[in-house]
Amino acid sequence: FLRLYLFIRERTSKLGIKATSVYNGKGGLIDDIALIRDDDVLFVCEGEPFIDPQTDSKLPEGLSGSHTDWLTLNVGGRYFTTTRSTLVNKEPDSMLAHMFKDKGVWGNKQDHRGAFLIDRSPEYFEPILNYLRHGQLIVNDGINLLGVLEEARFFGIDSLIEHLEVAIKNSQPPEDHSPISRKEFVRFLLATPTKSELRCQGLNFSGADLSRLDLRYINFKMANLSRCNLAHANLCCANLERADLSGSVLDCANLQGVKMLCSNAEGASLKLCNFEDPSGLKANLEGANLKGVDMEGSQMTGINLRVATLKNAKLKNCNLRGATLAGTDLENCDLSGCDLQEANLRGSNVKGAIFEEMLTPLHMSQSVR
């Protein structure tokens, strides 16, 4: 027996396997080295049953070579029993496959029970192992798909990554792009402390009725306020930079110190609005698109309309005293009855503009186009 043990140990060292049994060419188990003849063909194995290669030229799938043995994994303290073929066959280029293609690759990285140690999350590893077994993505309730996706990327299971990305996308609730209603916004306003800065950047208020609301100092930068009813609203010092106000109604709104740089208010109605701040803070509409707006009767002393577009706008009876209109497009504007005293019209385009009944005539020193 000792001689047989030494014989097996020697073959184990040469073949790089943990041999436990020796068979002769006919499948007979050899338990005595004296039974071995010089011309015998011997088969050394790790304990799996003998399969004659001459009668079984094509082995069943999963039983070829070293991929027939069972092994146990210790993943984060939880044990999983599987076969080497499960870890290797489905994703041969994955990290798991490379880890277990050759026996003994882990060396001494085994726990006291002989299980291979893997320092990863067991709850995320289980769906991956099941996928390698049967090719289906099955994740129990309560398991975060993002965690499974991270493990799949770690182990390099490429085909599973695609399944998980689709599953995660399908599990996300659809984005709600519907406009915010007056009721929702009023509830939002009431829940916000008075001294807190209210930021509504980029929100969609399209078509909402926000008339007569106190909207002072609110940040509406890049918000969609198209076709909104903002009549009589208090927008004092509000930030409407790059906001879409096209087609909106802002009649009689308080716009003292408002910031509307590069905003789009094409076709909006701003009749009888107040842009004039007694404290000296000037409304800024520089670069705004005000094509076709109706601003009749509005108070706009000192307003900044530099390089704004006011083509076909109605500015009848507006107070534009000291306004900055340099480079402004005033083509075909109705400026009749306007107070333009001390207004800066340098470089503005007044082609086709109506100036009849102006309260203050233009000075010759003011250069216009």
Q: Residues of the chain with pLDDT > 90: what percent? A: 49
pLDDT, tens digit (0-9, with 9 covering 90-100), for 130-161 = 999 888 888 888 889 999 999 999 999 999 99
- Check residues 241 and 5 and name the one with the higher pLDDT: 241
Of 138, 170, 202, the position where a domain reaches its end is 170
Q: What is the pLDDT of residue 35?
A: 60
Question: Is the pLDDT at 368 greater than 90, yes or no?
Answer: no
Residues 81, 135, single domain; the answer is yes
What is the pLDDT confidence band of residue 266, given thresholds at 50, 70 and 90?
Answer: very high
Q: Residue 48: which domain range?
A: 1-53
Of 170, 190, 216, the position where a domain reaches its end is 170
pLDDT, tens digit (0-9, with 9 covering 90-100), for 282-305 = 999 999 999 999 999 999 999 999
In a domain, 84, yes or no: yes
Residues 76, 166, single domain; the answer is yes
In a domain, 177, yes or no: no
Residues 21, 97, single domain; the answer is no
Please report, as a single letter, which amino acid is at residue 121. S
Residues 45, 82, single domain; the answer is no
Residues 147, 78, single domain; the answer is yes
Tokens of 15: 């073949």
Residues 79, 116, single domain; the answer is yes
Residues 145, 87, single domain; the answer is yes
**What mean pLDDT do residues 172-200 have?**
79
* Contact between 368 and 362 (Cβ < 8 Å): yes
Residues 163, 85, single domain; the answer is yes
User: How far does Cα 219 stand from its chain's mean position?
Assistant: 23
Q: Which of 167, 112, 96 is nearest to 136 (CA)?
A: 167
In a domain, 315, yes or no: no
What is the pLDDT confidence band of residue 269, given thresholds at 50, 70 and 90?
Answer: very high
In a domain, 2, yes or no: yes
Question: Is the pLDDT at 244 greater than 90, yes or no?
Answer: yes
Name the burial class of residue 218, with classes exposed (0-12), middle (13-18) and buried (19+) by CB atoms within 10 angstroms of its CB: buried
Residues 104, 129, single domain; the answer is yes
Question: Is the pLDDT at 176 greater than 80, yes or no?
Answer: no
Residue 90: give its domain's CATH number.
3.30.710.10
Q: DSSP assignment, residue 217? A: T
Using alpha carbons, list the distances in angstroms from residue 86 to 106, 109, 127: 17, 20, 13
- Predicted TM-score (pTM) of the model is 0.53
Q: Are strands 70-75 and 78-83 parallel, antiparallel or unpaired?
A: antiparallel
> 3-state class of 66 per DSSP?
helix
Residues 139, 94, single domain; the answer is yes
> pLDDT averaged over the chain?
82
What is the pLDDT confidence band of residue 364, given thresholds at 50, 70 and 90?
Answer: very low
Number of domains composing the chain: 2
Q: What is the pLDDT of residue 62?
A: 38
What is the pLDDT confidence band of residue 59, given thresholds at 50, 70 and 90?
Answer: very low
Q: What is the pLDDT of residue 219?
A: 94
In a domain, 345, yes or no: no
- Check residues 107 and 256 and name the one with the higher pLDDT: 256
Pairwise CA distance, residues 60 & 69, whole Å? 14
Residues 49, 76, single domain; the answer is no
In a domain, 78, yes or no: yes
Q: What is the pLDDT of residue 278?
A: 81
Of 170, 204, 235, the position where a domain reaches its end is 170
> 3-state class of 3 per DSSP?
helix
Least reliable range by pLDDT among 59-68, 85-94, 227-236, 352-361: 59-68
**What mean pLDDT do residues 81-104 have?**
84
Residues 92, 139, single domain; the answer is yes
